[in-house]
Amino acid sequence: MQAVEFNSTPHDNVVDLPADLRAWNGRLVRVILLTDEASAEPTASPAFKAVSLKTRGFKFDREAANAR
């Protein structure tokens, strides 16, 4: 087994190989991913936040909803 170390930025679930490793395309490889926590970007806050709606007095019309 041969071990190689390089830095890459994954995108669209793909890790690009350096130019000198292009011959490895199509070969079975073992991948171990490590992140440098000090330089990692902070995680984004969740896009969805809880919503509270007042539904008192609201009448649901199933026929009108299905007509859409």
Residue 5 has pLDDT above 60, yes or no: yes
Residue 39, pLDDT score: 63
In the structure, what pLDDT confidence band is assigned to residue 8 with cuts at 50, 70 and 90? confident
- Where do the domains of the chain lie? 1-37
Contact 30, 22 (CB under 8 A): no
Closest to 36 in 3D by CA, of 5, 14, 13: 5
Residue 6, pLDDT score: 87
How much is the pTM? 0.45
In the numeric block, which tokens belong to residue 3? 């071990």
pLDDT per residue over 10-52, tens digit each? 888 888 889 998 888 889 988 888 887 776 566 677 777 888 8
Residue 41, pLDDT score: 64
